[in-house]
Amino acid sequence: MRSLISNSKSSRFNACTRAHQLAALALVVFTFLITRLLDHTVGQFQSCRLDSYSSVDQNGNSKSFAYRTYSGRLNLKVYVYDEDEIEGLRLLLYGRHGNISAENCVKGQWGTQVKLHRLFLQSSIRTRKKEEADFFFVPSYVKCVRMMGGLNDKEINQTYVKVLSQMPYFRLSGGRNHIFVFPSGAGAHLFKSWAMHINRSIILTPEGDRTDKRDTSAFNTWKDIIIPGNVEDGMTLDTPKLVKPLPLSRRKFLANYLGRAQGKAGRLQLIELAKRFPDKLECPELKFSGPDKLGRAEYFQHLGNAKFCLAPRGESSWTLRFYESFFVECVPVILSDRVELPFQDAVDYSKISIKWPSTRIGTQLLDYLNSIPDKAVEEMISRGRTMRCLWVYAPETDPCSAFSAILWELQKKLRQFHQSAETFWLHNGSVVNSDLVEFGKWTS
Ligand SMILES: *[C@@H]1O[C@H](CO)[C@@H](O)[C@H](O)[C@H]1NC(C)=O
Ligand SMILES: *[C@@H]1O[C@H](CO)[C@@H](O)[C@H](O)[C@H]1NC(C)=O
Ligand SMILES: *[C@@H]1O[C@H](CO)[C@@H](O)[C@H](O)[C@H]1NC(C)=O
Ligand SMILES: *[C@@H]1O[C@H](CO)[C@@H](O)[C@H](O)[C@H]1NC(C)=O
C-alpha cells in the first residue's frame, strides 16, 4: 500500500513537463537576482553597518556574531525632547540656577548622559515629528547636576514627575517607548520614585545590579540596555593616543589593580596580595585628588604595564576599568560576580576577558593568571582590539560604536502598537482616554 502511494506521487512528479521545470528554474534565478540587487541597494543607503571591523578571522573562520547581529538595515525614528518644550527639563539639564554646563558634564565616567543626548540630536534617525517617532529620548544630566549641587534628591524626584506629566506620548504608551539615561552605579535610583513612574521605560545604564544596597534592581534585562562607561577621549580617539600599548614582553607586571580600596572587601584583598607579591601584582596607592593626583597619561601608563588588568567591583557592580583595559590592551579580569555587560547579543565576552569568582581573590588567582601562555593573552588582546570600538561613543556614521550598537538594540524593541491602562481605541482607529477624549487633545 505504502509503495503504491509513493509510486503514484513520483509518477505525478514525472508528469511535470520540462517546460514547467524550466519556468520554475527561471523564476528561482530571477528571484535570486532581484534579492541580491535589493540587498545591494539597501546596503549602500543604510546608515549603519557593523561589518567593517570583523569580517574573517585569522583562521579564515566566518564573520563574527557581531556582524550577524548588527548587519542589515537600521530603520527607526527617535524624537528628542527639546529643553524648552517641557517645563522642568532645563532643571534636569543645568540645575536650579541654570549654570551647570554640558561641557563639564561630558567629562569623566558619567559623560554618557551628555554624549548620548548629543548623538541622538545629530543622528540621521532623529525625527522632529512626534507622530512618526518610534522612540522618545528624554534628555537629562542629573548625575552631574546632583554632583555639582545643582539639584538635590527631592528636587530631582519632583522635577521628573512634573516633566513626565507634560508628555501625552508617555501616557499613550505607559512610557514603553521613552528612553532615559542613568549613567552611574545608582542607575534609575537617581530618580527616587522611578519604580512608580518609569518602570516600563527603556533605561540606558552601565549598572545591572543594586541588590547590595537593598534597593530593588532598577535594571531589567529584557527592556533596558546596558551601556559602556565613558572612557577618556584621549584613549579612544584614533589620533594620537594619550598612551600607546606596550608589547607584552616589556610589561613589568603580571597583573594590576589601580583604584582606591573604598573599604571594599575584594579591593582590600588585592592590596594585601600585592604586598606579598609586589613583583607580580601592582596595586599602587593612587591619589585621585590633591597635589599628588595621578595625571591621566600616568594612570593609563600604569594600567598598560601588566598583562592582566583586574577589575573588582566598587560601590556597585560595573567598573570603568573593564572598558579602559581594552584601550591599553591588557586582558580585563572581572572580579565582580553580578556584573552585567553591554551588547551581549553581539559580544562573546569569554573570548576577550576573564571573569573570576570574587570569593577567590588570592594566590590561586595569581597562579592561574601566571599559567596562561603569552600566546593566549595575545589572542585575547587582539580579539579585544576588534571589539573595543563598541565602547566608543562615536556618531552612528562610525558603524562600530556604542551608539550604533544601542540603536540596534533599540530597533529590536520596536513595537507597531502602544497601549497603557489609560489608552482606549475605537472602531475607526481613534485613540481616546477613559473620558473618550481623542489623543490629539490630551493635555497631559
Ligand atoms: C551656580 O550659581 C549659584 C548661585 O549663584 C552658585 O551658588 C553656584 O556655585 C553656581 N554653580 C556653578 C557650578 O557655577
Ligand atoms: C517624588 O515626587 C512625587 C511627586 O511630587 C511624590 O508624590 C513622591 O512621594 C516623591 N517620592 C519620594 C521618594 O520622595
Ligand atoms: C509602574 O508605572 C505605572 C505608571 O506608568 C504606575 O501606574 C504603576 O503603579 C507602576 N508600578 C509599580 C509597581 O510601581
Ligand atoms: C471615530 O469615531 C468616534 C465615535 O463615533 C468619533 O467621535 C471620532 O471623531 C471618529 N474618529 C475619526 C478619525 O473619524
Residues with C-beta less than 6 Å from any ligand 2 atom: 157-158, 161, 192-193
Q: Which three cell numbers stand for residue 161?
A: 514627575
As for ligand 4, residues whose beta carbon falls within 6 Å of it are: 426, 428, 430
What does pTM read for this prediction? 0.85
Ligand 4 atom showing the smallest separation from residue 428 Cα: 1
Q: Which residue has the higher pLDDT, 55 or 96?
A: 96
Ligand 3, atom 6, residue with closest C-alpha: 196
Give the pLDDT band (50/70/90) at residue 233.
very high
Q: Which protein residue has the closest C-alpha to ligand 3 atom 4?
A: 197
Residue whose CA is closest, atom 7 of ligand 1?
97
Residue, of 71 and 375, whose pLDDT is higher:
375
Tell me which ligand sits closest to the C-alpha of residue 424.
4
Q: Which pLDDT value is given to residue 314?
A: 82
Beta partners for residue 311, in sequence order: 334
Ligand 1 center–CA 98 separation, angstroms: 9
pLDDT score of 91: 98
Contacts of 300 (CB under 8 A, 6+ apart): 232, 235, 242, 243, 324, 327, 328
Q: Which atom of ligand 3 is least distant from the CA of 195?
A: 14
φ, ψ (nearest 5 deg) of residue 230: -85, 105
Residue 65's pLDDT is: 47
pLDDT of residue 443: 83
Flag the least confident range among 99-113, 203-217, 341-355. Answer: 203-217
Is pLDDT of 3 > 80? no
Q: For the chain, what percent of residues have pLDDT higher than 70?
A: 82
DSSP 3-state of 79? strand
Average pLDDT across the chain, whole number: 86
User: Is residue 213 pLDDT above 90, yes or no?
Assistant: no
131 pLDDT above the threshold of 60: yes
Strand partners, 306: 253
CA of 428 to the centre of ligand 4 (A): 6
Residue 112 reports pLDDT greater than 60:
yes
**Residue 60: pLDDT over 50:** no
In the chain, the domains with their CATH numbers are 78-230+418-441 (no CATH), 233-391 (3.40.50.2000)
Q: How confident is the model at residue 66 (pLDDT cuts 50, 70, 90)?
A: low
Work out the average pLDDT over 77-99. Answer: 98
**Measuring from atom 9 of ligand 4, which residue has the nearest CA?**
430
The Cα–Cα gap between 98 and 434 comes to 38
Burial-class residue 199 by CB neighbours within 10 Å (0-12, 13-18, 19+): middle
Cα 227 versus chain centre, distance: 3
Atom of ligand 2 nearest to the CA of 192: 13
At position 312, the amino acid (one-letter code) is P
> Which grid cell sits at 414?
520596536
pLDDT score at 397: 83
Of 93, 96, 99, the one to substitute when testing ligand 1's pocket (max ligand atoms within 8 A of C-beta) is 99
Q: Is the pLDDT of residue 231 over 80?
A: yes
Average pLDDT in the 361-372 region? 97
Determine the distance separating the centroid of ligand 4 and the alpha carbon of 418, expressed in angstroms: 19
**Strands 306-312 and 178-181, sheet pairing:** unpaired
Q: Is the pLDDT reported for residue 147 higher than 80?
A: yes
pLDDT digits (tens, 9 = 90+) for 308-338: 999 998 878 899 999 999 999 999 999 999 9
Ligand 3 binding pocket (C-beta < 6 A) is 174-175, 195-197, 199-200
Q: What is the mean pLDDT of residues 82-103?
A: 97
Q: What pLDDT is recorded for position 130? A: 97
Which of 155, 193, 198 maximizes ligand 2 atoms within 8 Å of its Cβ, making it the mutation to test the pocket?
193
* Cell 570600538, located at residue: 389
Q: How far is the CA of 150 from the centre of ligand 1 (A)?
A: 8
Of the listed ranges 67-71, 129-133, 147-151, the one predicted with least confidence: 67-71
Question: What integer pLDDT is reported at residue 210 of this predicted model?
Answer: 77
Q: Are strands 424-425 and 431-432 parallel, antiparallel or unpaired?
A: antiparallel
Which ligand 1 atom sits closest to the C-alpha of 150? 11
**Does ligand 1 come within 6 angstroms of the Cβ of 148?**
yes
pLDDT at 140: 98
Closest ligand, as measured to the CA of 198:
3
pLDDT band at 100 (very low <50, low <70, confident <90, very high): very high
**For residue 438, how far is its CA from the centre of ligand 4 (angstroms)?**
9
Compute CA distances 239 → 151, 169, 236, whole Å. 37, 42, 9
Phi, psi of 61 (to 5 degrees): -70, 165
